Amino acid sequence: MCSGLEAVIAEHGPDACAIEDAFLATNVKVTMKLGQVRGVVLLIAERAGLDIHEYSPRLIKQTVVGYGNAEKHQVQEMVRLLLKLKAVPAPHDAADALAVAISHFHHAAFRERIAATAK
């Protein structure tokens, strides 16, 4: 995973990393694995000099669906609609990642507008 993510960063040259905040999954093992993956991603992003932006699951759902308690299938369908895809992204993690990216795009643009008016 580490070298694969580094290769993606090297190939595409992003300037930011958007990631979902940690959350407590119903299964302790899943929670631990998510924490480990987040740690690796944050380390790689920091080493690459990327701006790191974290979004809560609730904010992502609110941004994408308009409802912070939306179900996973609702998020998947809104990602499909917003990106004008023929099918819901698969696997479901792909839809989750796209939802984080959509949220970052929305909120980063908002932060930039606020910063521009403060000058």
Of 96, 111, 102, nearest to 23 by C-alpha is 96
Enumerate domains of the chain plus CATH numbers. Answer: 1-55 (no CATH), 56-119 (3.30.420.10)
Of 67, 75, 77, 81, nearest to 99 by C-alpha is 75
> Strands 51-55, 16-20: parallel, antiparallel or unpaired by DSSP?
parallel
pTM of the model: 0.85
pLDDT in tens, the chain (119 residues): 688 999 999 999 999 999 999 876 778 888 888 889 999 999 999 999 999 999 999 999 999 999 999 999 999 999 999 999 999 999 888 999 999 999 999 998 777 767 677 76
Supply the pLDDT for residue 13.
96
Which helix (H) or strand (E) segment holds residue 20: the answer is strand 16-20
Q: Record the tokens describing residue 116, joined without a space.
A: 């521009």
DSSP tag of 55 = E
Please count the other Cβ atoms lying within 10 Å of the Cβ belonging to residue 44.
Answer: 19
Of 44, 61, 63, 62, nearest to 52 by C-alpha is 44
The dihedral sign for the CA sequence 92, 33, 106, 2: negative
Supply the pLDDT for residue 119.
65
**CB-CB contact of 68 with 61 (8 Å):** yes
